[in-house]
Structure formats: structure tokens, C-alpha cells
Amino acid sequence: MRFTLLASGSTGNATLIETARTAVLIDAGLSARALVRRMTDLGFDPARLAALFITHEHTDHVGGLSVLSRQLALPVFIAPPARRQLRFKDRDMSTIPWADPLTAGQPVVIGDLTLTPVAVPHDAAEPFIFTATAAGIKLAVVTDLGYIPAHVAHHLTGCQALVLEANHDRDMLRAGPYPWELKQRISSRVGHLSNEDMARFLREDFDGAAAHIVLAHLSQHNNHPALARLAALQALDAHYPHRAWETVVTVAPAAGLPHWCPL
């Protein structure tokens, strides 16, 4: 298995996962043209995609859903409440190749990949994160959640890779340019994961299994890659002081990772 982030942040999100037999996309937050271009730039043929999985209905996760799914005839897996919140034209909604609806905790098998939706606290209709497993290898894509409940932490055990939200630094958010109401939403229990909450998970609940930790969905106004990475490294050093974590933790830029992460 290998994976990469085609985009990460408030301007768009998309995670590409590939095995020798199967490839899927989690979220399509950029235009179809931009997503196809970024896939081809990585040497990946978009025609290899077998399915599109959607975490929730916010624009930065579904911006390219309609066009990409129809162009590539991709079955779209999404929770029914999230599907009902989509604001596409009626004619587009009727021509999207919808797959069976997602249910929390119910795995979906696509080729040699198994994706499991896990319910998370976020201000959306029925938001999920996903774990993906193939041949005993496990990846989790964990973004857009206000905190990490115990049931989510349980699903993150045994992962060889984690894509983990580090949306904002609390002090930067407080002093930043956003309106007070937006700051409250972001920092709430159904908002986005802060550097501090990300670090708390790594310090208290992380099992140490992952060879790759990719910090994702960083705010361009309320965070800095160096701050997020430092918070993660300090937390990991506190929990596992004798391991060289510097080679494990990377930060995904808004434009996505320029490379694949092999597992």
C-alpha cells in the first residue's frame, strides 16, 4: 500500500490510496481538473481509481465530486445525511454513480482494500474518518474533528500510517483575523483538531506503531508547519523517548505531498 495527499487544508482535501490491485480517493475537495492533474503529476493514472469515499459534505471535501465521479464513472460512498446536504444541481445529483450508503463501523471492500467509516464529532451532517487496510497494513485518515473520542482512538491502534489533523495553534487562533464566532466554531468540540489536541493524542493514546505521521489540514492563518511539527515531536518524545521521530513526522502543505508514502 502507498498513499499521498493531493490537497490538504481549507482550500481543498483529497487523499489517494493505492495498492497493487486497487486505488481509491478519500474526498475530492479540488476541481476535477486539478485532481486529475495532480494525480498524473505523480505518475498515477486516474482511470485506475475504483471508488470515491466522502468524509462529509463541506465544500473543501466535495468540490470536485460531481464532475470527477461522472467523468471516471466512480461509485461514490457517502453517508445519506451528508448526501442530502450536497448543493449540486438536480441533473448532476441524478447522474452521479452513487454507491451503497455508508454506515458507521460497517467496512466496505473494494478490491483488496477495506475501508471502514468511523463517526467523528464535527459540525457536519454525519461526518466520518476512514481507516484503510490491505494485506495487514493499516492507514487512518483523521481530519475534521473537534477532538478524538475514545472510540476513534481505538480505531487508530495498529496503524502503520496516520494522516492526523493539526488545524490550528490555539494562541494563533485567538489572536488571528477570524471573526469571534468562527474562532468559537473552529475551537469547539465539533470544530477542528488543534496542535495541542493532536499532541495530547500522540502523548496519551498513540500506540507507537506508525512509521508515517502526516500532519494535515493546517490553517494558513492560524498555524505554522514548524509549530505543528514541534508539538508532535515533543509529544512523541515524551511518550517514546528512545525513538528517532524526526524521520516519521511530516507536514502536508496545502498543495498536497509531492511524493508517495510507501507502507
Indicate the burial class of 109 (C-beta count within 10 angstroms; 0-12, 13-18, 19 or more). exposed
Tens of pLDDT, residue by residue over 122-165, are: 999 999 999 999 999 999 999 999 999 999 999 999 999 999 99
The model's pTM: 0.97
Give the model's confidence band at 46: pLDDT under 50 very low, under 70 low, under 90 confident, else very high.
very high
Looking at residue 89, what is its pLDDT? 82
Residues 6+ apart with CB under 8 A from 89: none
Sign of the CA dihedral running 249, 119, 137, 141: negative
Q: What is the pLDDT of residues 203-259, one digit of tens each?
A: 999 999 999 999 999 999 999 999 999 999 999 999 999 899 999 999 999 999 999
Percent of the chain with pLDDT over 70: 100
Interval 70-86: pLDDT, tens: 999 999 999 999 999 99
Instruction: Give the closest residue to 56 by CA, choosing from 77, 78, 75.
Output: 78
Residue 88 pLDDT more than 90?
A: no
Under the banding of pLDDT at 50, 70 and 90, the label for residue 35 is very high
Region of poorest pLDDT, from 77-91, 106-120, 165-179:
77-91
- Look at residue 212 in the predicted model and tell me its pLDDT: 97
Q: What is the pLDDT of residue 87?
A: 87
